[in-house]
């Protein structure tokens, strides 16, 4: 029986949540395409000091797809505290860095760590060229680096008008070839969840990616964020997320998956203090046109933080796969 090939495209904690859930669905083949624009924390230091590709988001994907993820997370996300040079780094980033340097390539290092942790599926960097993400604001200001874009200073900032990638070496950026094959052979494609301008769109603006998505026959579904983010998606409604995403992709998505359950008032208030709001979706808005709009209670508020519940999200995606893919084993 044909096993459906599910492709996810994203980065950060959103992709970690998605993959953590999908890893528990036994009847799918998973490939994760990961942004290489991360520039913060341990990842940013390793990138700047050693000239390597950023390991942080890839490490999260490896952990999410490992059957040993609970033990592995406790070990590999543990930060060093005693040695001055290691201070602030975590064990996983250092191990992935050393494996990449020893094997001679970042993808080989990723595969090696995936083998250690019995990781299910494949994890692919969207590019193996070193890049910096740049945001251009509506007032013409440019902000350099994913971290600076992600964490605006002050209480106000102009809206993001465009984002683009600048190569560190040479004058061009190219997609990692296995990514093109993964898009071409995918049966179902999931974009997000994650920060729109710093986790998802950086994948789409790598030359070749949007063209491959435009050509695919696989359904493309976008998983909407639950909350907006100041400096990126301030005051965005659900349809604004989608239209911004599609402008970068050059085509329409086939469907939208969104959370319908509001966080409690006390948690919402804490987010409002950070200028973050619940993402409102009006399924009757004519701007949705022919897109398949799917809603469910997908929220996890443990610890007072609003995120997608991995189990709920995977279970809901499974119902969509059963409906959309005629050969899905779960039918």
Q: What is the pLDDT of residue 89?
A: 77
The region of weakest confidence among 2-11, 78-87, 128-137 is 78-87
Q: Distance (Å, rounded) from C-alpha 2 to C-alpha 4?
A: 6
What does pLDDT average to over the chain?
91
b (16+ CB within 10 A) / e for 284-316: eeeebeebebbbbebbbeeeeebbbbbebbbeb
Structure tokens at 279: 């993402």
Model pLDDT for residues 126-181, shown as the tens digit of each residue: 999 999 999 999 999 999 988 888 877 666 678 899 999 999 877 789 999 999 99
User: What pLDDT was estimated at residue 45?
Assistant: 64
Q: 43-47, 88-92, 113-117 — which is least confidently predicted? A: 43-47
The whole-number pLDDT of residue 52 equals: 64
pLDDT for the residue 80:
75
Assess whether pLDDT exceeds 60 at residue 44. no
Q: Examine the pLDDT at 37 and tell me if it is beyond 90.
A: no
241-284: pLDDT as tens digits: 999 999 999 999 999 999 999 999 999 999 999 999 999 999 88
Q: Which of 12-21, 39-48, 221-230 has the lowest mean pLDDT?
A: 39-48
Q: What is the pLDDT of residue 51?
A: 62
pLDDT band at 85 (very low <50, low <70, confident <90, very high): confident
pLDDT at 122: 96
Residue-level pLDDT at 70: 86
pLDDT for the residue 194: 93
Amino acid 154: pLDDT: 67
pLDDT band at residue 185 under the 50/70/90 scheme: very high
pLDDT at 46 over 80: no
């Amino acid at each position: 029986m044909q096993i459906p090939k599910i492709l996810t495209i994203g980065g950060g904690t959103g992709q970690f949540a998605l993959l953590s859930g999908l890893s528990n669905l036994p009847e799918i083949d998973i490939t994760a395409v990961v942004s290489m624009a991360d520039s913060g924390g341990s990842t940013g230091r390793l990138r700047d000091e050693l000239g390597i590709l950023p390991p942080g988001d890839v490490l999260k994907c490896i952990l999410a797809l490992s059957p040993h993820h609970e033990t592995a997370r406790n070990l590999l996300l543990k930060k060093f505290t005693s040695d001055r040079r290691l201070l602030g780094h975590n064990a996983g980033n250092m191990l992935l860095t050393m494996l990449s340097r020893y094997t001679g390539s970042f993808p080989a290092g990723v595969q090696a760590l995936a083998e250690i942790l019995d990781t299910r599926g494949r994890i692919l960097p969207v590019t193996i060229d070193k890049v910096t993400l740049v945001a251009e604001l509506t007032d013409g200001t440019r902000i350099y680096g994913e971290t600076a874009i992600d964490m605006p200073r002050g209480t106000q900032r102009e809206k993001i008008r465009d984002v683009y990638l600048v190569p560190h070496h040479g004058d061009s950026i190219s997609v990692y070839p296995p990514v093109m094959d993964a898009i071409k052979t995918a049966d179902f494609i999931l974009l997000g969840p994650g920060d729109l301008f710093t986790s998802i769109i950086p994948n789409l603006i790598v030359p070749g990616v949007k063209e491959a998505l435009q050509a695919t026959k696989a359904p493309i579904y976008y998983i909407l964020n639950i909350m907006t983010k100041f400096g990126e998606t301030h005051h965005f409604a659900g349809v604004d997320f989608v239209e911004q995403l599609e402008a970068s992709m050059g085509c329409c998505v086939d469907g939208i998956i969104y959370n319908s359950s509001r966080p409690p008032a006390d948690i919402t208030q804490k987010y409002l203090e950070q200028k973050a709001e619940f993402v409102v979706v009006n399924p009757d808005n004519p701007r949705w046109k022919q897109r398949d709009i799917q809603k469910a209670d997908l929220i996890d508020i443990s610890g007072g933080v609003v995120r997608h519940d991995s189990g709920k999200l995977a279970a809901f995606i499974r119902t969509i796969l059963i409906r959309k893919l005629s050969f899905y084993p779960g039918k």
